[in-house]
Amino acid sequence: MQSLGTLQHHTALVSMRCALATLGLAIEFIICRVLHAVPLFHVLVEWQIAQKARIKMVKENYWDSLFGWQMFKECWKMKILDLRKQVSEGTDVVDSPLISADGQKCVQLLDLARIGRPLILNFGSSS
């Protein structure tokens, strides 16, 4: 169990990281918004999107909202959520309860762990 001082230090550290991340993200968006008017920047962004998405996206579907306020808010939310995560690589696992797909059984996560056998969790989406 963490002491109050340790918890306050951790909270202050997370708050500082969130503030710095917000400042960094704002600077990135301001620079990209200024570059938004440069034709060569259009070409670079289109090329990057084509590389990442591996499909040809119609520029009119995304260009006007690119690096806008709504995109900034969504990127900021994701960044802050990531910084506030309690679990990260190298930390102790949370022994969460797991319910079978049919809802009939409940086990603790660590009950599935075995020495010499990796425990792999696959979080996916079928949508």
The predicted pLDDT at position 87 comes to 67
Q: Which of 29, 69, 62 is nearest to 48 (CA)?
A: 62
Per-residue pLDDT 10s for the chain (127 aa) are 445 566 677 678 888 988 999 999 999 999 999 998 898 998 898 888 888 887 777 888 888 888 989 999 999 999 988 887 766 677 777 788 888 778 888 888 888 888 998 888 777 766 6
Establish if 46 belongs to a structural domain. Answer: yes
101 inside domain: no
Determine the pLDDT at residue 57: 79
Q: Which domain holds residue 67?
A: 4-83
Instruction: Please state whether 116 falls in left (phi above 0), alpha (psi between -120 and 50) or beta.
Output: left
Residue 1 confidence (pLDDT): 46
Asked whether residue 113 is assigned to any structural domain, the reply reads: no
pLDDT for res 34 = 93
At residue 7, the pLDDT reads: 63
Overall number of domains in the chain: 1
Residue position matching structure tokens 């306050």: 8
Closest CA to 27 of 84, 70, 76: 76
Does 89 map to a domain?
no
Long-range interactions of 46-55: CB distance < 8 A, separation 24+: none
Q: Is position 66 within any domain?
A: yes
Would 31 be classed as within a structural domain? Answer: yes
The pTM of the full predicted model, rounded to 2 decimals, is 0.58
Whether residue 36 lies inside any domain: the answer is yes
In a domain, 95, yes or no: no
Question: Nearest Cα to 108, choosing from 119, 120, 96?
Answer: 96
